[in-house]
Amino acid sequence: MNEKIKIYTDSGELVEASAPVIISASRSTDIPAFFAKWFFNRFAKGYCTWYNPFNQQKMYISFKNCKIVVFWTKNPKPILPYLHELDEKGIHYYFQVTLNDYIKEGFEPNVTSVEDRVETFKKLSNMIGKEKVIWRFDPLIITPNITPRDLLSRIWNIGNKLKGYTDKLVFSFVDVKAYRKVQNNLVKETLLFTKETVESAEANYAQRIEIVEGLKKIREAWKKDGWDIEIATCAEDIDLELYGIEHNRCIDSELMKRIFAEDEELVYYLHTLKWPERDIFGQLPPIPSKEKKVKDTGQRKVCGCMVSKDIGMYNTCRHFCVYCYANTSKECVLRNKEKHSDDSESIIE
């Protein structure tokens, strides 16, 4: 799955590297928004480095076997001029685009207006196809001024602007209790919470049901209008099948088999997690009837993603979203920015 190979670094050192088929870019930072130039510079050089955020162990990631890149972003605009380079190399890709509306609350202080982000979303969709651009309204946050009804209204308003530009909406409920740094940032960077009230940002059971019932009605309304959008949750253990809401797989083998169906070797890999060997006549082996399912064990228990390799570095995303688990604080991000000022060369090194 993640073959180990030997590569030479820029300095000429021979090292061991992981060579995954699927690259996730990235759960750790917004590469399309802030490090597009870095990504394509490293892609051209054939590898990048990655540090484990828990033990700081350094790893090398080779792009030798890469066939798919899954991009995660709030602003894909900076990466659009570079995507042709992946097309020319025969590398497939799709996007998870988070498009929230927390403008009034200032939860995402370094994103552009909703209108600007909607236009960028549409441009990307027109460039690569709506099936390759997934809309995330993520996470859902409750405040004294944001009720479930308010969240549904914001989703409705954005969705009405995105009709026909995506096939899927993914959401999750903010996870505050599990992340001390999220608690700290919500209290420090906003005036809406105190240490005693910050956990109220998580929707309770009644609020969650109110939201999903509303989402079901919204989807039914959009379907009547000709937009049959799928709605799914990200890393949520609550069963919402009754409401027509599925558990999402952000790194999704079924989606990839469908949108990259013309790549027969890739489809074989996604089914077996082995790269096929052609026979003497150049024919691929038949795809086994039983599909091999391998969950990414590096992700949360309720995460449905298949195995991939995430790249990027924590404490580097400059959106400064107050609910983000990938940044310890705004100050940490600014220190890293000063340390690594040339984005064309490095997030890390």
Please name each of the domains of the chain with its CATH number: 70-251+313-339 (3.80.30)
pLDDT in tens, 155-189: 999 999 999 999 999 999 999 998 999 999 999 99
pLDDT at 4 over 60: yes
> Averaged over 45-54, what is the pLDDT?
91
pLDDT in tens, 68-104: 999 999 999 999 999 999 999 999 999 999 999 999 9
Cβ-count burial 27-56 (b if 16+ within 10 Å, e if not): bbbbbbbbbbbbbbbbbeebbbbbbeeeee
Other Cβ atoms within 10 Å of 192 Cβ, number: 20
Do the Cβ atoms of 26 and 315 come closer than 8 Å? no
Do the Cβ atoms of 165 and 349 come closer than 8 Å? no
Do the Cβ atoms of 334 and 110 come closer than 8 Å? no
| Nearest CA among 169, 235, 176, 242 for reference residue 203 | 176
Cβ-count burial 218-255 (b if 16+ within 10 Å, e if not): bbeebeeeebebebbbbbbeeebeebebbbbbbbbbeb
pLDDT of residue 89: 97
pTM: 0.95
pLDDT of residue 345: 46
Tokens read off for 288: 């086994």
Pairing mode of beta strands 246-247, 14-20: unpaired
